[in-house]
Structure 1
């Protein structure tokens, strides 16, 4: 292809992007995926979750390393091949003339992307801001709220560290009072969870922070019920959805929260370094942006996107990840990943010396599950699994939770999980005295 033609092709590709019938996803997968979906369209999502022929088509959309078995998808999920290709092509085009292709071409894709994210979130596009990760989204809200000395925030000791540290900085800087509840997970009692938060509240409580899916062990929290209780007491609600968006089938407004932040590079499998913030429309004006903006009191959600130069290829690659996700279906994806978690967890819990630290009830868990083996510290178990079996997990030793965190994704095969179960069985059988 001639240089001129190649540039024209890249420009046209960017202009069409993930929002047209000529998307990378359509070019790579449309025909095969349509056939796979047609074969199972008469089945419900729970049944499709166990159809290996259907999921083998999805699995081929990822580039999986043969050198390791990655069961730490709760940290960062890999992007599908079409998402990687989109980012690579957009990056190539950008570097042919950055100030032109970034601002005049790729930047024009933000509004269609905002619309696409809004549809997935079940929200208004005027409530969606695009950024780099859950930390940026949630810190924008935490630092942007007009809290003052003596105002109380109720969170949990099992919230994500970056959020806890943000509240501690506000306590040191502004004199707010930061309280934390705690739990002994797993918990399968909604009323007990709600009551724990409620007992920590006082008339000075202005904000309740809820982690939708607790990253340490995968506990799903009853966000809607906690939010309703908090609102009844006059408090606002912020939700950390880093591990729920793109995994669980829900609409953000149905959580009854006021603010929501997520990373898109987890279960949505968007490019690494992409995130999203949702703010209820009537709350936008009072929220200060994290970075400077001409009118910080503007009711326009775009005031939270004044980041200066950023990776436009990564941002536009999000659209292809949404195409990939929607072609699977949110409910099917949730059911499949829960099935994969249950597939291995129900087997290892029967092994002597093995303990699960996560509920298997789909109301209280989905993808992430904690497991420990008697005689091994979390670090020892994590390292042994990798050194001996090349299985990658993450060790958790925090607030009394001592286990490894195991998280499959849609590209994980049953053979992969059989390999993990066998490894746990061998280690349990030969555990240290």
Structure 2
């Protein structure tokens, strides 16, 4: 499975490491996945979601700790072994001569990687910037917009804290007006959500900030409908896609937004510390880079990548994650993870004293689901799940949301979720 150094360096110029015939994915999984995909080729993604033999094979690619059940993939997901090996291989190569192998070899892989990300996102390569996470992507846009005192921005109290704080800092620094809506999720009516944004628009509104998948409880927001409404009124839209990219089967242009930021270390299972920013081509020149650049008004998306020395191994490891994702297929992956969420939540909702805080309709949720037990705080439930059952989740107390967030991934087994349901039954029955 390993390549010798000479062979690796010879192929490095074609790199982003994962995209050549010598990629680790090609060596480790391609042939077997091709065979198993042929076996299930007649199944629809929804049908394949329940094929445990297929997903057992996929699960073997993730060397996760089997002593605990990880159900906080909404925070960060583990990477498949081939992704981990790629990062280790690139790190070893870098340390053989950092200034040569990092800047003259690995750095040459950014353009092939940009092209692969653009294919996955359905965009032009010249609209994709590679960075470290959704916070960096979205802060670049938020601080880079030409807004002046009195200009208004609409967000929600249920947006991610780093984005909320970024807008508040712009309000303090520049005098913009940051208005926050508040929603009581779950909401199973797109018109209700769109109407709330529309009602908040005034002649001074310049930007709407929308979280595609609400990270607290997994509500899928009607982004395209919001964008169409906003654009009719001359308002731009920023989309926080941290929990949607690599999970939901969509292309960024389908959303009809103007700006998009995401973390790749969540559902794409890329190395921890990898992200992506998309800006519509005609808007790139008007956005100031967050970091310094000699041509801040350039139309070149690369002006947002002036980060100085970075982790080239992490960046290039993204390629293997894309390979693995594409081998499964976006729609298959979405349907499987939604199937896993519904598998446990549809049982849990029938348990006395257990409350589900997320819609179970496919239009409004996929992976993330909130759960609570009457008489317990989220911290108490989260603690009991881990202390007594070694189930790792995360307690959410934010604005009007109070629940434990549960998030499976493709490596999660039904047996893991059976243990979760059993645990909820026992904890609820014990009343503590």
TM-score scaled by length of structure 2: 0.98
How far apart, in 2, do the equivalents of 1:180 and 1:227 lie? Answer: 17
Between 394-403 and 74-83, the greater mean CA deviation after superposition: 394-403
How far apart, in 2, do the equivalents of 1:115 and 1:137 lie? Answer: 18
How far apart, in 1, do the equivalents of 2:397 and 2:335 lie? Answer: 29
Shift of 1:420: 0.7
How far apart, in 2, do the equivalents of 1:52 and 1:119 lie? Answer: 29
Shift of 1:10: 3.8
How far apart, in 1, do the equivalents of 2:428 and 2:180 lie? Answer: 36
Aligned to 1:197: 197
Aligned to 1:139: 139
Deviations 1:130-149 (A, max 9, x none): 00000000000000000000
- Contact preservation (8 Å) 2:11, 2:20: no
Shift of 1:6: 4.4
How far apart, in 2, do the equivalents of 1:307 and 1:401 lie? Answer: 36
Q: Indicate whether 1:375 and 2:365 are aligned.
A: no
How far apart, in 2, do the equivalents of 1:9 and 1:69 lie? Answer: 39
- Contact preservation (8 Å) 1:10, 1:93: no
Unpaired runs of 5+ residues, structure 2, are none
Aligned to 1:275: 275
Q: Indicate whether 1:96 and 2:92 are aligned.
A: no
Provide the aligned C-alpha RMSD in A.
0.9
Aligned to 1:296: 296
Within a 5 Å distance, the mapping from 1:25-424 to structure 2 comes to 25-424=25-424
How far apart, in 2, do the equivalents of 1:351 and 1:166 lie? Answer: 40
How far apart, in 1, do the equivalents of 2:7 and 2:424 lie? Answer: 51
How far apart, in 1, do the equivalents of 2:413 and 2:9 lie? Answer: 38
> Could you say what secondary structure the match of 1:18 adopts?
coil
How far apart, in 1, do the equivalents of 2:12 and 2:62 lie? Answer: 22
Shift of 1:266: 0.3
Shift of 1:389: 0.6
- Contact preservation (8 Å) 1:10, 1:89: no
How far apart, in 1, do the equivalents of 2:268 and 2:4 lie? Answer: 31
Shift of 1:9: 3.6
How far apart, in 2, do the equivalents of 1:28 and 1:7 lie? Answer: 18
How far apart, in 2, do the equivalents of 1:44 and 1:269 lie? Answer: 23
> Could you say what secondary structure the match of 2:107 adopts?
helix
Seen in structure 2, the aligned counterparts of structure 1 residues 426 and 98 have a Cα distance that, compared at 3 Å, is: same
Q: What is the count of residue pairs matched by the alignment?
A: 428
Shift of 1:13: 5.4
Shift of 1:65: 0.1
Shift of 1:376: 1.3
Unpaired runs of 5+ residues, structure 1, are none
Deviations 1:320-344 (A, max 9, x none): 0000000000000000000000000
How far apart, in 1, do the equivalents of 2:78 and 2:223 lie? Answer: 27
Shift of 1:14: 3.6
- Contact preservation (8 Å) 1:86, 1:320: yes
How far apart, in 2, do the equivalents of 1:293 and 1:384 lie? Answer: 50
Aligned to 1:12: 10
TM-score scaled by length of structure 1: 0.98
How far apart, in 1, do the equivalents of 2:394 and 2:44 lie? Answer: 33
How far apart, in 1, do the equivalents of 2:225 and 2:202 lie? Answer: 18
How far apart, in 2, do the equivalents of 1:86 and 1:12 lie? Answer: 16
How far apart, in 2, do the equivalents of 1:424 and 1:172 lie? Answer: 44
Segments of 4+ in structure 1 off by > 3 A? 12-16
How far apart, in 1, do the equivalents of 2:316 and 2:5 lie? Answer: 18
Shift of 1:163: 0.5
How far apart, in 2, do the equivalents of 1:207 and 1:269 lie? Answer: 31
Q: Indicate whether 1:428 and 2:425 are aligned.
A: no
How far apart, in 1, do the equivalents of 2:401 and 2:131 lie? Answer: 32
How far apart, in 2, do the equivalents of 1:403 and 1:95 lie? Answer: 45
How far apart, in 1, do the equivalents of 2:401 and 2:116 lie? Answer: 38
> Could you say what secondary structure the match of 2:143 adopts?
helix
How far apart, in 1, do the equivalents of 2:238 and 2:282 lie? Answer: 15
